[in-house]
A and B are shown apart, each in its own frame.
Chain A
Amino acid sequence: MLNQLAWKASWRHLLLHPWQLALLILGIALGVAVVVAVDLATSSATLAFNDAAKTFSSTTTHQIIDPENKLDERVYLELKQQYPQLAVAPLVQGYLSSPEYPGRRFHIIGIDPFSDTPFRAEGAALEREILTQLLTEPLTALATKKLRTEITTLPLTTGNTTQQLKIIGLMNEQPGTSALLESVLMVDIATAQELFNMEGYLSQIDLVLPQQDTAITQQIQQNIPKTYQLNSIQSKTNALTQMTKAFRINLMAMSLLAIVVGMFIISNAISFSVLQRRKIFGSLRSTGAEPKLILQIILTEALVIGCIGTFFGFILGAFLAEGLLTLVTRTINDLYFQLGTSSLTIDSWSIFKGVSLGVGATLIAALIPATEAVKSSSDTIIRRSSIENRSLKLIPKLALTGIGIIVMGVALILLPLDSLILSFTALFFILMGYALISPWAMLKLSSGLQSAMTRTLGITGLMACRSIKRNISRTGIATAALLIAIATTVGVSTMIGSFRIAVQNWIESSLSADLYISVIDNNSSSNVIDPQFIEQLQQRLPGITMNQSKWQQVYTETRPINLLALGLSRRGFEGFRFKHGDINKAWAAFNNNNSILVSEPFAYHHQLAVGDFFILPTPQAATAETKLRVAGIFYNYASEQGIAIINLNLYQQLWKNTSLSGLSLYLDDKNTYDANIETIQNLFIHYPKLQLRKSSEIRAMTLAVFDRTFAVTDVLRLLTLIVAIVGILAALMALQLERIKEIATLKAIGFTPRQIQFLLITETGLSGLLAGLLSLPLGIIMAVILIHEINQISFGWSMPLSLDPLQFIYAILIALTAAMIAGIYPAKLLSKTPTAEALRHE
Chain B
Amino acid sequence: MTSEIIQLKNISKVYHEGGDQHAIFNQLSVNFIQGQTSAIIGRSGSGKSTLLNLISGIDLPTSGEVIVNGNRMTRLDESNRTKLRRKEIGFIFQAFNLIPTLTVLENILLPLELNHYDKKTDEAIELLNQVGLANRYNSFPDRLSGGEQQRIAIVRALIHEPKIVLADEPTGNLDTKTAETILQLLEELICDKNLTLILVTHSMEMAQLADLIYEVRDNQLMLNSG
Tell me the A residues contacting B by CB distance below 8 Å.
383-385, 388, 458-459, 462-463, 466-467, 469-470, 741-742, 745-755, 834-836, 839-840
Output the nearest chain B residue to A385 by Cβ-Cβ distance. Answer: B142
Interchain CB contact under 8 A, A749 and B101? no
Q: Choose one: B56, B58, B85, B106; the contact of A462 (CB below 8 Å).
A: B106
Set of chain A residues within 8 Å of B56, measured between Cβ atoms: 748
Interchain CB contact under 8 A, A839 and B102? no
Output the nearest chain A residue to B80 by Cβ-Cβ distance. Answer: A752
Tell me the chain B residues, 40-82 only, with Cβ under 8 Å from chain A.
Answer: 49-50, 53, 56, 58-59, 78-79, 82
Interchain CB contact under 8 A, B58 and A746? no
Contact status of A836 and B100, CB under 8 A, knowing A750-B114, A752-B78: no
Main secondary structure of the interface of A (DSSP, over half): helix
Output the nearest chain B residue to A739 by Cβ-Cβ distance. Answer: B100
Set of chain A residues within 8 Å of B101, measured between Cβ atoms: 462-463, 466-467, 469-470
The segment out of B91-99, B187-195, B210-218 that lies at the interface is B91-99
Interchain CB contact under 8 A, A751 and B59? no
CA distance A458 to B106 in the complex (A): 11
Interchain CB contact under 8 A, B86 and A836? no
Set of chain A residues within 8 Å of B93, measured between Cβ atoms: 745, 748, 839
The answer to whether the Cβ of B208 comes within 8 Å of any Cβ in the partner chain is no
Set of chain A residues within 8 Å of B86, measured between Cβ atoms: 749-750
**Complex A-B: 6 CB contacts under 8 Å:** A459-B113, A748-B97, A749-B110, A750-B87, A835-B53, A836-B58
Interchain CB contact under 8 A, A750 and B100? no
CA distance A166 to B142 in the complex (A): 82
Set of chain B residues within 8 Å of A383, measured between Cβ atoms: 142
CA distance A836 to B53 in the complex (A): 6
CA distance A59 to B91 in the complex (A): 88
Set of chain B residues within 8 Å of A459, measured between Cβ atoms: 102, 106, 110, 113-114
- Please give the distance in Å from A304's CB to the nearest CB on chain B: 29
Contact status of A753 and B79, CB under 8 A, knowing A385-B142, A466-B102: yes
The answer to whether the Cβ of B111 comes within 8 Å of any Cβ in the partner chain is yes
Set of chain B residues within 8 Å of A463, measured between Cβ atoms: 99, 101-102
Output the nearest chain A residue to B115 by Cβ-Cβ distance. Answer: A750
Interchain CB contact under 8 A, B79 and A754? yes
CA distance A747 to B99 in the complex (A): 11
CA distance A747 to B87 in the complex (A): 13
Residue from A383, A745, A749, A751 whose CB has the most chain B CB atoms within 10 Å: A749
The answer to whether the Cβ of B83 comes within 8 Å of any Cβ in the partner chain is yes
Contact status of A741 and B97, CB under 8 A, knowing A459-B110, A835-B59: yes
- Please give the distance in Å from A329's CB to the nearest CB on chain B: 52
Output the nearest chain B residue to A834 by Cβ-Cβ distance. Answer: B59
- Please give the distance in Å from A388's CB to the nearest CB on chain B: 8
Set of chain A residues within 8 Å of B50, measured between Cβ atoms: 836
Set of chain B residues within 8 Å of A840, measured between Cβ atoms: 49
- Please give the distance in Å from A835's CB to the nearest CB on chain B: 4
Output the nearest chain A residue to B142 by Cβ-Cβ distance. Answer: A385
Contact status of A745 and B82, CB under 8 A, knowing A459-B106, A834-B59, A835-B59: no
Set of chain B residues within 8 Å of A466, measured between Cβ atoms: 101-102
Interchain CB contact under 8 A, B114 and A753? no
Set of chain A residues within 8 Å of B78, measured between Cβ atoms: 752-753
CA distance A741 to B99 in the complex (A): 10
Q: Choose one: B58, B100, B113; the contact of A747 (CB below 8 Å).
A: B58
CA distance A748 to B128 in the complex (A): 22
Interchain CB contact under 8 A, A462 and B99? no
Contact with A along B143-159 (1 / 0, CB 8 A): 00000000000001000
Set of chain A residues within 8 Å of B83, measured between Cβ atoms: 750, 752
Interchain CB contact under 8 A, A749 and B53? no
Interchain CB contact under 8 A, B59 and A750? no
Contact status of A462 and B102, CB under 8 A, knowing A749-B114, A752-B83, A835-B58: yes
Output the nearest chain A residue to B98 by Cβ-Cβ distance. Answer: A745
CA distance A755 to B114 in the complex (A): 10
Contact status of A745 and B85, CB under 8 A, knowing A750-B115, A753-B78, A836-B53: no
